[in-house]
Amino acid sequence: MNSIIRYVRSRASKQHDDLTPYANLENTPSVIGSSLDVSQNESANQGQTYTIDSAVEKMGFGIFQVKLSILTGLAWMADAMEMMILSILGPALHCDWLLNEWQKALITTVVFCGMMVSGTMWGKLCDSYGRKACLILCTLFTFYFGALSSFAPVFVWLLILRGLVGFGIGGSPQSVTLYAEFLPSKQRARCVVLTNLFWSVGACLEVLLAILVMPSLGWRWLLAFSSLPLLIFAVFCSWLPESARYHLASVRSDLAEETLKRISQENKMPLPQGSLKIVKSDSKRGQFADLLSDEHRVTTLILWFIWFANAFCYYGIVLLTTEMFQIGNACQASEASKQNIEPFCYLKCLQTKDYIDLLYTTVSEFPGLFITITIIELLGRKKTMAIDFGVFSVFVFLINICVERSVMIMFLFVARCFISGGFQAAYVYTPEYYPTVNRAVGLGTCSTMARIGAIITPFIAQVLLKVSPYLAISIYAIVGLLASVASMLLPVETKGRQLEDAETAYDPVVH
């Protein structure tokens, strides 16, 4: 554990200058009504005071942050498992309930609809009742309806229950926001970015679980087992501290100090001298109209398309993988569609070998993340996104070729590798571009566009694919190519950009 702490601290010192947009969370949306600040220069007769930020900076990255990183990672893994199961559930129900392609697509769409509807609601609840309480609530909510999904008697009930699962997942970003509040500024950006590793781990674990469960027990048991990590996370949340900023916003500085003292004890580092005092500051809040002002209009519209393309292509390649395993390859599917053969007649049920191959393509997210982290500081954000989308587009086009299964898996592997990296690059660029007052609303609208892309993509990957495989596959390649061009058309490169105000209203986005 000490080696982990030393690694994070050493890496942070090299990256601090490039990560200034993430440096301060005093304007985070988690604070009710307005941001909070504490005077450090009180007169002597009033005694010394310190800010939450100064306390977190002084205590540094230690045992407390390592534990919190693991707990946050568990939450992210659990959510990834609930999302990854979508690519497995559709083919399984096609065989068990003889669902048509529209019905399979709806299973995925309702989850993202639930996420889009609930995101704002969970944020407001956290502002009113605290992040810890609402995080436990949304986790138990997701667990309950995830487990209940395994008992769904008919298709309609399954749709309702999976939609409620998506409603619960909409609150999961609050775990990352709470996590970021307890990270020193030098480590904050890198640690938050690396939480995506846990997402990839969760996706791989879901496929491994499918390998063990699906051949013998079936999809109902897979749904039940997949919800258990959420319950485990909820149990360990008893250790989780409440946001010190929430306590200050609730005029409970005594509780905020208790939380900071707890961190001090676990990290074995002293708090700053003095006491914690709250002073409210009236800071301007960004409006939606600001994003379409003359200054930001072009960049905002391009970013909306990039985020849409990211989710559309990422979840598209996830769903497309299992569909391609069913139909064999594009040539076989095209021949079947020309002969008007019903999908029930030529689609096979997934076997253990298919799940193993699915694991190979899922593992591709790890090299995708590390490649992007490496080249994003060398080439810049715009070129990194352009490369990620461009390589994705090339290898998706190649899926149209009549090749052996092993070659097709290699194409899918590379495509998923780079679209995962593209998602991460956009996640770095967006908060770096927008100024403090517009950052939260900018990220929020981009997240909405991403969820719209995810809502649409099942109807391409699962419905259109059976009608015209070449057209469906080519749509993903064309969208990726357009996103690559759009990335280069962004007016601003944010690499090494010095912002006049380094404070960040951090608003994490669901992968």
d(CA 128, CA 307): 30
d(CA 381, CA 487): 9
466: region left, alpha or beta (phi > 0 left; psi from -120 to 50 alpha)? alpha
d(CA 307, CA 428): 12
d(CA 448, CA 454): 10
- Two tokens at 90? 């559709």
468: region left, alpha or beta (phi > 0 left; psi from -120 to 50 alpha)? beta
Please count the other Cβ atoms lying within 10 Å of the Cβ belonging to residue 490: 19
Judge contact between 485 and 143, C-beta under 8 A.
no
What pLDDT sits at residue 487?
A: 94
H-helix segments, 16-100 = 52-59, 63-84, 86-96
What pLDDT sits at residue 193?
A: 67
What pLDDT sits at residue 212?
A: 92
d(CA 117, CA 120): 7
Could you tell me which residues come within 8 angstroms of residue 500 by beta carbon, excluding any fewer than 6 positions away?
A: 435
What pLDDT sits at residue 57?
A: 79
Report how far Cα 493 is from the mean position of its chain's Cα atoms.
Answer: 23
- Two tokens at 16? 């601090």
d(CA 452, CA 442): 16
Per-residue pLDDT of the chain (511 residues; tens, 9 = 90+): 555 555 455 554 444 444 444 444 333 443 333 333 444 444 443 567 777 777 777 887 888 888 888 888 888 888 888 888 988 888 888 888 888 888 888 998 999 999 888 877 776 777 677 778 888 888 999 999 999 999 999 999 999 999 999 998 888 777 776 777 787 767 665 676 677 788 889 999 999 999 999 988 989 999 999 999 999 988 888 888 887 777 777 777 778 788 888 888 888 888 777 777 665 544 455 677 878 888 888 999 999 999 999 999 999 999 999 888 877 666 666 665 555 555 444 456 778 888 888 898 999 989 988 888 788 878 888 999 999 999 999 999 999 888 888 899 999 999 999 999 888 888 778 877 877 667 667 777 888 888 899 999 999 998 898 888 889 999 999 999 999 999 999 998 877 654 333 344 444 444 5
What pLDDT sits at residue 341?
A: 52
- Two tokens at 309? 């393309």
What pLDDT sits at residue 505?
A: 40
What pLDDT sits at residue 32?
A: 37
pTM of the model: 0.77
